Structure 1
């Protein structure tokens, strides 16, 4: 096994990691590597936190967990064996994960994870779609694959029945109405949306070309990032009346659970992308813990819903901007 891991490989790994989704595309992560070491550290970037809509940094941890999963996939694709520890230093809550990038050692039974490596092409193909999806069922065999993807990362993916799905949609609408009455929450949206010429040069946030059309009718559970602001050349169209939802939940509701939720979410999204499914995400109705309790499976009544996924057949969304690796990676 080589004793050194070259900087070029590390830069490539971090570039793949940062293709992950995050709330309002704030990209709330930083990576650090000591020169000559085979360890990468993942830190939370609190300058990109959202104090009004994410006061507990739950969504921040989920986004960082998604980046961590992409890092693991990229490492496996590069022939490495990532060994991950979550929250390795209790005294440093900003240090979210330590990843040792070991080389393969067949004699010790340490080999790259082919199942992780298989997902690598989807990292650059996965984009959030805020467009209408077709009224076409996702086959049960594919649903089973997505459920298994969540289980592999310590989470559960539930495809709710009609009554449960309608309850979740009601929670989303309630959250939208709550936001209208709370200008502080809207501050986070305004901060992280990019309109006009800024959309063409942004390296973070949600650019106006990714807002998707306004909803004329239908029940797609997604946030309207434009709000009452005018966006040029933005049309209005009908969305599906019965969106296909999936609820990602974890047994607990602590930072480690949120990091696992982020990894599970990204594994599900990459599997869906490989299966030519379009996806979008919303945690709009989950920004309050009490609402997360209401969103869970009414039959089992266990687990905490961490993300609502909309999955179906439709156009993929556009590529959204990413910060340069030099802005998020420190080699010291």
Structure 2
């Protein structure tokens, strides 16, 4: 069976760079080696304060891997995925090897088409409830990638999550180094990475249920609720090793693309994952033996704007000499 070629690598990288990453840091590199497409972590883009453990960089590379899988599948060249295939190369996150050729499924085509339409939407969502069939699609999307998605039902569960997330957010706000790093990733709207100034949520107010990161200075009418009862999901996996976090990243992207295909808007809430004590409290509140990896806010809203992306040529690397 023929290996992947430069055209396959380009298609995989073009899709992969549209994956989400913390503060839109885009910490990935793509290369072609021995007929396989490989995704590597770019640790020069790792957040030194917010991501000391490398959890976020692995989540992002997992999401990029899922996009690359879709790009290869719609070219009728689906991949077999090997996560962290080499102990000798710890930066190598995933290796995509050609599997048996076949036409893409309708589901693969739909999710691939959703890639350029998936954007984080930090604005308040509309009050329309997410229907039961859409909720089941999201749960099944996570399950199909060996993860779980718990959708919080009822104000008791939501208020409990909000308390944990708010507490974690206050811890992070008191960390001057964390806040300085956050500000350093807020860029002009035409920058190739980071969070555009205009992409942030309106400034938080005391009555808000969920915490929001401050990326700009937009105000809203005083006293107006941000969202009285948002739908929140918590994504997790059974383990918490680096390979598990890559699995979680793939599941995250499948959930996000499934939401986009269903006409839903999403944004991510990472504060309760970034603070270890809050994360443990969240895990216990869910009654799960596994490990939460990210929380999602899900609903209906106006279409979001695409965050900037670096050029594909900046993230494609030549394979090692001799291969």
Give TM-score scaled by structure 1 length: 0.89
Q: Does residue 50 of the first structure (1) align with residue 47 of the second (2)?
A: yes
Per-residue Cα deviation, 1:247-280 (whole angstroms, up to 9, x for no partner):
1011111111111111111101101001110100
Shift of 1:115: 2.9
Is the 2:70–2:112 contact (alpha carbons within 8 Å) kept by the matching residues of 1? Answer: yes
SS of 2:198's partner is helix
Does the alignment pair 1:41 with 2:38? yes
2:161 equivalent among 168, 176, 201 = 168
* 1:207 alignment counterpart: 196
> Is residue 251 from structure 1 mapped to residue 207 from structure 2 by the alignment?
no
Aligned to 1:280: 267
Unaligned runs of 5+ in 1: 105-109
2:249 is the alignment partner of 1:262:
yes
Deviates more, 1:145-154 or 1:161-170: 161-170
Contact 1:154 1:250 in 2 (8 A): yes
Residue 91 (structure 1) shift: 2.8
> Which of 304, 308, 317 is the equivalent residue of 2:295?
308
Residue 136 (structure 1) aligns with: 128
Name the SS for the 1:83 alignment partner.
strand
Matched, 1:117 2:114: no
8 Å Cα contact 1:62-1:258 kept in structure 2: yes
Compute the displacement of 1:102 (Å): 4.0
Across the aligned residues of Structure 1 and Structure 2, the Cα RMSD in angstroms comes to: 1.8
Deviates more, 1:16-25 or 1:91-100: 91-100
Offset at 1:296? Answer: 2.3
Q: SS of the counterpart of 1:124?
A: helix
How high is the TM-score relative to the length of structure 2? 0.91
- Counterpart secondary structure, 2:267: strand
Q: Is the 8 A contact 1:72 1:116 kept in 2?
A: no
Q: 2:27·2:41 contact (CA, 8 Å) conserved in 1?
A: yes
- Distance in 2 (CA, whole Å) between partners of 1:287 and 1:124 is 28
Task: Give me the whole-angstrom Cα distance separating, in 2, the residues matched to 1:171 and 1:300.
Answer: 15
For 1:75-224, list aligned pairs within 5 A: 75-102=72-99, 104=101, 112-161=104-153, 162-194=155-187, 199-216=188-205, 217-224=207-214
Q: Alignment partner for residue 228 of structure 2, among 238, 241, 254?
A: 241
Q: Does the aligned pair in 2 maintain the 1:129–1:317 contact within 8 Å?
A: yes
Given that 1:292 and 1:305 are in contact with CA atoms closer than 8 Å, whether structure 2 keeps it comes out as yes
| Contact 2:9–2:30 (Cα < 8 Å) also in 1 | no
Shift of 1:299: 5.6
Does the aligned pair in 2 maintain the 1:155–1:264 contact within 8 Å? yes
Deviation at 1:53, TM superposition (A): 1.2
Indicate conservation of the 8 Å contact 1:20/1:266, yes or no. Answer: yes
Q: Which runs of 5+ in 2 are unaligned?
A: none
How many residues are aligned here?
A: 314
Q: CA deviation at 1:83?
A: 0.8
